A and B are shown apart, each in its own frame.
Chain A
Amino acid sequence: MADIKGRLRQVLVESLDLRREPDTIPDTNLVAELGLDSINTIEFLIWVESEFGIEIADEDLSVDLIDDLSRLAAYVEQRSQQTVAN
């Protein structure tokens, strides 16, 4: 899980062109901390799909999913396992 969170931090920095080091990104409250909105969230999650080789379903798109890095990492892990199983 820690590895996934580390990769997610890196993707956040690259996809949103953030001027900060990945390890300075906190685990929680990402929407307020990074100024995430419906535009850059889409951008970030498309990069997440590409980075992890998963598909994020439209019905799973929510503020809750991207506001908490642990929750998003768990989701990525679950989708990765589903992808492997399929």
Chain B
Amino acid sequence: MASKSRVIAIITEGATPQLLDRWTAEGRLPNFARLLTEGTRGDLVADGVPYEPPGLVSLLTGQPPGEHGVFSYWSCHTPEYRPRVENGESSRHPLLWRLPDLKGVRFASVGLFGTHPPAPMDGWVVSYPMQLTLRACYPPGLHRELAGHGIAPTHDTAIWWHGQAKESFVPDVLEADRRRGAAALLLYGKGADVVLVNLTSIDRLSHIYWQELELGPEHTADSAVFAAYQTADRVIGDALDRADEQTTVLAFSEIGFGPLRSYCAVNDDLADAGLLVRNTDGAGNTTVDWSATTAFEAVQGTHGVNINLRGRYQQGTVAPQDYHKVRADVAEQLAAVINPRTGRPMFAAVSPSEEIYQGAAVTEAPDLILEPADWRYLPLGDQTWAKKVHRTWQSAWHRRESYWALAGPATARANAVAAPVDITATLVHLLGRDVPATLPGKPLTA
């Protein structure tokens, strides 16, 4: 393979194979169709619970969640029980462009969680900040440079959904992706060897507007979700058009999507079992009595339950020597919970985290991981942040199954089933480099 091989990797975050297949077959996504026709594709399956942060950090580090230790946008354990915002400094492993094995490779990364705050590097970063900031780019002048091309980065935290009309929200979300795509190709033109760009509108709009898809195929053209797929389709088309003969275009999503009927408060089940105690004040406000609580839901999106372990939490009640027995008891109680909406068990499995995630950072994961029996009914999660994102208004959530596809000078094993770390290994291999022994992924192109 030539040493000047390059890669444009486009993350169509939240893209689900069923919709891709349907809309490409109908001729609605001509550039996805081009990618699939000119190249090869396969399935991508998320590790553990399908969520953007663990998947993206796996891509960025080449390590599975049990090793890098990022399971959510927020930490799973803090002494004061309030999840803390995670960022690029939360991972236990370096980002790809810090690996000695990849010295000399110029990376450009646009819009990936896990890259904020941006640090000096031989390349370019438009980070994914979790708060409003003026410092989301490296080099610092990159924002002004992109603005000069009419594609100033707009961050998801600046486009917040609070129930405003679709017409005043969706165009901004789509425009942010258009700019991300354009910025990625501009940086490709400036000489980046690897361009990573994350398009978030499929995920964001699927959460909110999935119910439009349930109106029937005659409403597809007007649906916000389809508009997001179209936006990604245009970015893929631009990349295929711009890529030279030594450049591979790789598209994938670290998560898929599917319908949601309701989030279910596992804390209610824990309270019913006497494992969580609540206090109610005179005004009717309810709080958790941590000093009397044994177990509680972990932060949203982790499908986790934590044991109130002494020494880890300010008001821990479970002695370290009792941890495993208590955890097993809590798991047994939760396994017996019936979903009142279906009359069937709520969970297909309640597993110790080390059975789901393996690695040195598994202690950062919730103590128990819940596998929903029916993915239309999902654990609600800790409410500290859930209320800020209007989580209970959503009509869809992630699924494990998504896709990868690539076209260009390299050939991949068609229909290979990939994990996120395999995408990282594939990127390295596409550059003509040996995959470092420290990376567990297997290249799809080998």
Contact = CB atoms under 8 A, between A and B. Distances in A.
A46 interface: yes
Interface stretch (A5-13, A18-26, A37-45, A68-76): A37-45
Interface residues of A, number: 15
Given A39-B158, A56-B134, A46 B143 contact: yes
A50 interface: yes
A46 B133 CA distance: 9
Contacts, number: 37
B136 to A, nearest CB: 9
The A contact surface, by secondary structure, is helix
B144 A58 contact: no
Interface residues of B, number: 16
Among A15, A46, A50: residue with most chain B CB under 10 A: A46
A31 interface: no
A49 B141 CA distance: 11
Interface in B83-131: 131
B131 A43 contact: no
Nearest to A49: B134
Nearest to B158: A38
Given A43-B147, A46-B144, A50-B144, A38 B134 contact: no
Contact of B152 (A43, A50, A56, A58): A43
Interface string A43-71: 10111011000011010010000000000
B423 to A, nearest CB: 31
B158 A42 contact: yes
A56 B132 CA distance: 12
B424 interface: no
B135 interface: yes
B152 A38 contact: no
Among B132, B143, B152: residue with most chain A CB under 10 A: B132
A86 to B, nearest CB: 17
Nearest to A17: B150
B397 to A, nearest CB: 26
Contact of A58 (B131, B143, B155, B160): B131
17 contacts: A15-B147, A38-B157, A38-B158, A38-B160, A39-B154, A39-B172, A42-B133, A42-B158, A43-B147, A43-B152, A45-B134, A46-B144, A46-B147, A47-B144, A49-B134, A56-B134, A58-B133
Interface of B: 131-135, 143-144, 147, 152, 154-155, 157-160, 172
Interface of A: 15, 37-39, 42-43, 45-47, 49-50, 55-56, 58, 61
A-B interface, 8 closest residue pairs, ranked by CB to CB distance from nearest? A38-B158, A58-B133, A39-B158, A61-B132, A39-B154, A46-B134, A46-B143, A43-B152
